[in-house]
Amino acid sequence: MKILVDADACPVRKIIVSVAKEYDLDVIMFTDTSHILADDDYFKAVLVDKAKDSVDIALINNTDEGDIVITQDYGLAAMALAKGAAAIHHNGWFYNESNIDIILFERHIRAKARRAGEKNNSNKKRSRENDLKFETCLRKIIKEKIKEIHNS
């Protein structure tokens, strides 16, 4: 089990590394050339070309069943679930088989509205509560995955 992170604009990188260290889990952060990751001797950084979906493709190509993927990209989350990985949003909720279809449908509706000229300013400022919720979610999935490994 490893943690793979869609690190472009990911606000929880420090939390991921801190929790991963506690459980001795490998972390791989994927970013394109337009983003710079602060040096860290714990995680592996994978830098890819700045092209459409290049980070997503690199990340999913390195994802195995049982891994944990952290992303705010709904399409990438759907691909991770299809590979048998867990997927978490950085705001602290799980993508799963029960919610991914509706999430993708809502994304489609929002994209259509944007193309039609509708504006949506629903971006809220990140709070400490978001970070705590994410950390709780990450710890929960790690514990579940460890339990699965020990029971198999």
The predicted model scores a pTM of 0.84
Q: Which residues contact 97 (CB under 8 A, 6 or more apart)?
A: 81
Digit-coded pLDDT (tens) for 107-146: 657 667 777 877 766 667 888 999 999 999 999 999 999 9
2-151: CATH architecture: 3-Layer(aba) Sandwich (3.40)
Q: At residue 128, what are phi and psi to the nearest 5 degrees?
A: -60, -35
The domain locations on the chain are 2-151
Digit-coded pLDDT (tens) for 10-52: 999 999 999 999 999 999 999 998 887 876 889 999 999 988 8
Q: At residue 93, what are phi and psi to the nearest 5 degrees?
A: -140, 155
In 3D space, the residue among 46, 43, 42 whose CA is nearest the CA of residue 33 turns out to be 46
